[in-house]
């Protein structure tokens, strides 16, 4: 039986550090690669490219994984940049939006992490808080630095009969590295996990034929310590 091919949308290091002699780098965090491999999948890193090539990339894979990274360019949800907006990469946004569109068109499952979940929401006509300071109910520390990611820092509560509820139970502790969040949830998604201050921490598709799953935290940074986090990858690779 062949292993499922998991396309991981890659990021680009534009301001390369001295070790790379100024060369730009295409990459994804090693945690995604290792977790997919250990779950029985074959990870393929998809470099940022022309959106016109998205259909060809998606046709070559079984499932799509969207990783974390830069802020989503607010143009794509109809806003001007807020003063607290951080680094964006419009080329990455445009390419990954095309990947999402093609994955849905070709009925390929999508697992989206942190920025990936936010971009999935934008792709389906939702909006974001450009900074948590714009969220009036913000009460929880969602950027856990300097605490190591292997130590979860805040609680989430999952919805009954959801994928996340089956995997994590009704409440769970997660790590957290974000200053943006979902504001208006796409009408095509349902929120299946929240933090105690009400921010969306997990999403799934309302349409069972669109196999979409997103989380706001970073399981790729903790799956080697937390077997439940690994089960999230195992579910994605083998069942989603």
Provide the pLDDT for residue 1: 73
State how far the Cα of 156 lies from the Cα of 179, in Å rounded to an integer: 17
What residues are annotated to the active site?
A: 114, 218, 220
* Helices and strands, number each (H, E), in the chain: 6, 13
Task: Count the Cβ atoms, other than its own, within 10 Å of residue 157.
Answer: 18
Class for domain 5-238, per CATH?
alpha beta
State how far the Cα of 219 lies from the Cα of 66, in Å rounded to an integer: 13
Provide the pLDDT for residue 13: 81
Q: Which pLDDT band holds residue 25 (cuts at 50, 70, 90)?
A: confident
Helix (H) or strand (E) holding 92, with range, is helix 90-105
Strand pairing report for 154-158 and 63-66:
unpaired
- Please state the rounded mean pLDDT for residues 82-111: 97
Per-domain boundaries in the chain = 5-238
For residue range 30-74, list pLDDT tens digits in order: 999 999 999 999 999 999 999 999 999 999 999 999 999 999 999
The predicted model scores a pTM of 0.96
Is the predicted pLDDT of residue 17 greater than 90, yes or no? no
State how far the Cα of 193 lies from the Cα of 170, in Å rounded to an integer: 9
């Amino acid at each position: 039986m062949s292993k499922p091919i998991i396309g991981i949308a890659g990021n680009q290091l534009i301001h390369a550090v001295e070790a790379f002699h100024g060369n730009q780098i295409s990459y994804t965090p090693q945690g995604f690669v290792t977790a997919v491999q250990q779950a029985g999948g074959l990870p393929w890193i998809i470099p940022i490219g022309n959106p016109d090539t998205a259909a060809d990339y998606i046709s070559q894979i079984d499932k799509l994984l969207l990783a974390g990274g830069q802020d989503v360019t607010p143009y794509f949800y109809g806003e001007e940049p807020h003063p607290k907006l951080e680094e964006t990469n419009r080329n990455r946004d445009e390419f990954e939006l095309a990947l999402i569109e093609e994955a849905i068109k070709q009925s390929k499952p999508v697992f989206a992490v942190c920025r990936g979940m936010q971009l999935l929401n934008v792709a389906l006509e939702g909006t974001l808080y450009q900074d948590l300071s714009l969220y009036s109910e913000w009460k929880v520390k969602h950027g856990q630095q300097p605490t190591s990611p292997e130590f979860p820092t805040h609680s989430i509560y999952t919805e009954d009969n959801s994928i996340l509820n089956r995997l994590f139970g009704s409440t769970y502790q997660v790590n957290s590295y974000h200053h943006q969040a979902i504001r208006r949830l796409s009408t095509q998604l349902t929120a299946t996990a929240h933090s105690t201050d009400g921010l969306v921490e997990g999403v799934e598709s309302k349409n069972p034929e669109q196999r979409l799953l997103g989380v706001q935290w970073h399981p790729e940074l903790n799956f080697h310590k937390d077997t439940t986090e690994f089960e999230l990858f195992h579910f994605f690779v083998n069942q989603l």
